Amino acid sequence: MEYQGISNWEGLLDPLDDTLRREILRYGEFVEAAYRAFDFNPESETFATCKHPQSSLLTRSGIRETGYRLTRHLRATCGVQLPLWMDRMPSWMSTQSSWIGYVAVCQDKKEISRLGRRDIVIALRGTATCLEWIENLRASLTGLHGDVEQDDVPMVQSGFLSLYTSRTSTSPSLQDAIKEEIARIIRTYGDEPLSITLTGHSLGAALAKLAAYDIRTTFDNAPMVTVVSFGGPRVGNINFRCRLEDSGTKILRIVNSDDLVTKVPGFVLENSGLPKNKAVQVTGFPSWFQKSVEDMRWVYADVGQELRLSSRMSPYHSKGNMATCHELRTYLQLVNCFVSSACPFKATATSLLNFHYPENSLL
């Protein structure tokens, strides 16, 4: 449970504990499977769907034996109202609902014994469709529960919340699908020690935080909930951060200092553990600017424990561009090589990765 974050990974991040390194990479494989299983081809009739059946997704995605079995596919839906002229555009440009990941439950007795519990994984990919990009750009904060009048209201990025809660006549929302599946799993295995690990990259990391909050606040009997976030953007304000922390959700936020996505949207609060009733301060800006961004609902707060890496410090990625700095592949290779802040990278890194990345595995 220490590696699951029960003590907020105290003493395990700097230097990076080798067992924790392997666990991070293991969860990264689940996200990689979500990318590989997604149909990126806009000319395909199955664009934005899963290419593989539930029973063989992990093996057909080239991921080594995990001991986990998929129990549900997950979809995300864009809530933006499209103009009528979009009907004349290619269908891939207006794909409203798309496959975004899956739920998997550990079934292997040896793996359950190694972990000391039955682990449930929710793996979510990053941005892949035009409408998901549009939702990403909706950077203003909105009330998590609709109410924005009170000072202590948790607020989150509008586009992320839209993708999480929107539904169609044929597809439930990502929120409902996750809650339904977790309720079913708890009913099935509730007499066993359980853990829920949500892992995602980029957009998937943001949605994982929303889902983690939902699980912890919806189920009275919820097991331990952990988020392993790769290259995730900011999600909410300081009240959202406080609610997440109060709920007992554990978040490991893996950040590449050279990745622009981890620095957006909005403006971040000083990350010094502010009291809940203290006025926030926007780092490095005068008071008039602070008031402006507050009025526009652009004041965010980082959340969770941070494992900070840097492409520039790596001999293998120092010449990477903005896109490569954000790739999941880069994150996993940086984790594989990282030692500590005093000695950033191993001279020779033991290969822990068995990946063969497709060219379209980007964001």
Q: What are the boundaries of each domain within the chain?
A: 2-270+279-345
127: left (phi over 0), alpha (psi -120 to 50) or beta: beta
Residues 6+ apart with CB under 8 A from 268: 234, 282, 283, 300, 301, 302
Tell me the pLDDT band of 122, cut-offs 50, 70 and 90.
very high
Which of these ranges, 27-41, 48-62, 155-169, 315-329, has the smallest mean pLDDT? Answer: 315-329
120 pLDDT exceeds 70? yes
Could you give the CA distance from residue 335 to residue 254 in angstroms, rounded to a whole number? Answer: 9
pLDDT in tens, 174-207: 999 999 999 999 999 989 999 999 999 999 999 9
pLDDT exceeds 60 at position 16? yes
Looking at residue 91, its pLDDT comes to 76
Residue 275 has pLDDT above 60, yes or no: no
Higher per-residue confidence, 87 vs 161: 161
Active-site residue numbers?
202, 259, 326
Residues in the chain, overall count: 363
Token pair 């622009």 is found at 260
Assess contact for 162 and 80: CB atoms under 8 A: yes
The answer, yes or no, to whether residue 361 has pLDDT greater than 50, is no
pLDDT at 105 over 90: yes
Q: What is the pLDDT of residue 312?
A: 86
142 versus 315: the higher-pLDDT residue is 142
For residue 92, count other CB atoms closer than 10 A to its CB. Answer: 14
Taking Cα atoms as reference points, which of 226, 263, 230 lies closest to residue 362? Answer: 230
pLDDT at 160: 98
- Looking at the chain, list the stretches that DSSP marks H as alpha helix, in order from N- to C-terminal side: 18-37, 57-60, 109-115, 130-136, 158-165, 174-189, 203-218, 238-247, 287-295, 322-326, 328-337
Mean pLDDT on 70-96: 84
Architecture category of domain 2-270+279-345 in CATH: 3-Layer(aba) Sandwich (3.40)
Whether residue 327 has pLDDT greater than 70: yes
148 to 155, 241, 244: CA distances (angstroms): 8, 16, 18
In whole angstroms, what is the distance from residue 39 CA to residue 361 CA?
11
Give residue-wise pLDDT tens across range 213-271.
999 999 998 999 999 999 999 999 999 999 999 999 999 999 999 999 999 998 875 54
Which of the two residues, 83 and 94, has the higher pLDDT score? Answer: 94
Q: What is the mean pLDDT of the chain?
A: 87
Q: Please, are residues 253 and 246 in contact by the beta-carbon 8 Å criterion?
A: no
Spatial contact of 247 and 210, defined as CB atoms under 8 Å apart:
no
pTM given for the model: 0.90
More confident residue, 257 or 357: 257
- Residues 182, 215 contacting (CB under 8 angstroms): yes
The model's pLDDT over 142-177, given as tens digits with 9 standing for 90+, comes to 999 876 666 789 999 999 999 999 999 999 999 999
Residue predicted with more confidence, 267 or 122: 122
Q: Are 355 and 285 in contact (CB under 8 A)?
A: no
Say yes or no to pLDDT of 349 above 50: no
Query: Which positions ≥6 away from 55 have C-beta within 8 Å?
Result: 70
Q: How confident is the model at residue 54 (pLDDT cuts 50, 70, 90)?
A: very high
